[in-house]
Copies of this chain bind each other. A is one copy, B any other.
Amino acid sequence: MKRKAVLIVCDGLGDLQINGKTPLQMAKKPNLDRMVSHGSSGLMYSIGPGIIPGSDTSHLAILGYDPKQYYSGRGTFEALGVGIKLEKNDIAFRCNFGTVDRKFRILDRRAGRIKDEGKILEKEIDRMKIEDVTIIFKASVEHRAALVLRGPGLSRNISDVDPHEVDKLNEAKPLDGSSEARKTARIINLFTKKSYEILSKHWINKKREAEGKMPANIILTRGPGIYEPVISIKEKFGFSSACIAGGALYKGIAKYLGMEILEVKGATGRYDSDLVAKGTAAVQALKKHEFVFIHVKGTDNAGHDGNLKEKVRMIEKVDKMIGVLIRKSNSIIALTSDHSTPVSLKAHSGHAVPIVLYGDVVRRDGIKSFDEISCAKGSLGILRGLDVMPILTSLMGYSKMYGS
């Protein structure tokens, strides 16, 4: 018999104790605790003990794709996530609109966190041609954007223009001796200059300057990736799948793996995200799909912001979403995280995260609370990210027997 499943990844959920309790231990979470009490739990390292996972590599692993084989740079996912259709060997970058002065010193890496102006500015840059390379450019939320270089003889092996802090602009540099890396660095440096020439003259930026705001007068590239099509979740595991996420990265990863991307009103990838709406959308999606992946970003934001109160509040919002799924999804439910983002560290860390499985084919192992300490005693032991999908697909009835 086949079963359906929902996998929820609460980004950066794992944490450390603050005055004796982790945020998960502080939060009121009757539904998460119900999942644990009726299910199996454990801890998980999405990559391995002591490895600090990025959000991209960890999600690949949790979704069943070994990042050693399938990861080739974050830009790819960002470009897919903002809706760019990629072709094989496209070089994709994650970008910011930024603000520089005439000497290319960075005044603001986020151009004063522009709102919707990126959607107007992108038209001036998109489909630009430099040498034999076509530039594809698409603005995303606020100052964020994605850039793609399409043309012959390119490489992802170049350094970032974005210096990642307020500093002088970096020049893109080839990271190996290949002519491809040299060409790509040259194109990016030409593009960076051109972006300044075009954007600094644009009326939107003139207006922003007149209003005393930072102009969005340059594109800062980073995280190059090279795109290659991969085997889809449908081909790999045999079932149809959908993704519900606010952030472009997670939509991009899901699209990379062939999942349908569902747009849910109020799913923002921020503290204000409507998680009950995401839960309800997942219940709906299960009518069409066998597997739904829900991503929650706010828990990670709270970790990066060092905001304990928001982290606890986000967990309590997640708990309400779980209530909807328990009552209405009639499916296997799995919940975990991609990595810890302890509020005391304000950064990703290598600490294990808790994981729980819930459903009629899951053993009850007697653990009562969903948190980092209780789940360490659970019957799943200590898993790796790559274990999650084999476990789920065997519970769902989609695994082939190994041997006979």
Q: A residues bordering B, Cβ < 8 Å?
A: 1, 16-17, 20, 22, 43, 47-58, 67, 71, 74, 223, 342, 344-345, 348-352, 361-366, 372-373, 376-383, 387, 389-395, 399-404
A400: shortest Cβ distance to chain B, in Å? 8
Q: In the complex, are the beta carbons of B383 and A49 less than 8 A apart?
A: yes
Q: Select which of B43, B364, B382, B403 is within 8 A of A57 by beta carbon.
A: B403
Q: In the complex, are the beta carbons of B363 and A372 less than 8 A apart?
A: yes
Q: In the complex, are the beta carbons of B399 and A50 less than 8 A apart?
A: yes
CA distance in complex: A1, B391 (Å) = 37
CA distance in complex: A389, B51 (Å) = 10
Q: How many chain copies does the complex carry?
A: 2
Q: Which residues of B contact A49 (CB under 8 A)?
A: 380, 383, 387, 390-391
Q: Select which of B1, B54, B345, B379 is within 8 A of A401 by beta carbon.
A: B54
Q: In the complex, are the beta carbons of B373 and A376 less than 8 A apart?
A: no
Q: Which residues of B contact A344 (CB under 8 A)?
A: 361
Q: Which residues of B contact A378 (CB under 8 A)?
A: 376
Q: Which residues of B contact A223 (CB under 8 A)?
A: 404
Q: In the complex, are the beta carbons of B399 and A51 less than 8 A apart?
A: yes
A351: shortest Cβ distance to chain B, in Å? 7
Q: In the complex, are the beta carbons of B361 and A365 less than 8 A apart?
A: no
Q: In the complex, are the beta carbons of B363 and A17 less than 8 A apart?
A: yes
CA distance in complex: A362, B340 (Å) = 12
Q: Select which of B51, B56, B381, B390 is within 8 A of A50 by beta carbon.
A: B390
Q: In the complex, are the beta carbons of A67 and B403 less than 8 A apart?
A: yes
8 further A-B contacts with Cβ under 8 Å, apart from A49-B387, A377-B377, are A16-B363, A43-B379, A50-B390, A52-B394, A351-B363, A363-B373, A376-B378, A381-B381
Q: Which residues of B contact A57 (CB under 8 A)?
A: 402-403
A294: shortest Cβ distance to chain B, in Å? 20
CA distance in complex: A21, B393 (Å) = 24
Q: Which residues of B contact A348 (CB under 8 A)?
A: 401
Q: Which residues of B contact A352 (CB under 8 A)?
A: 379
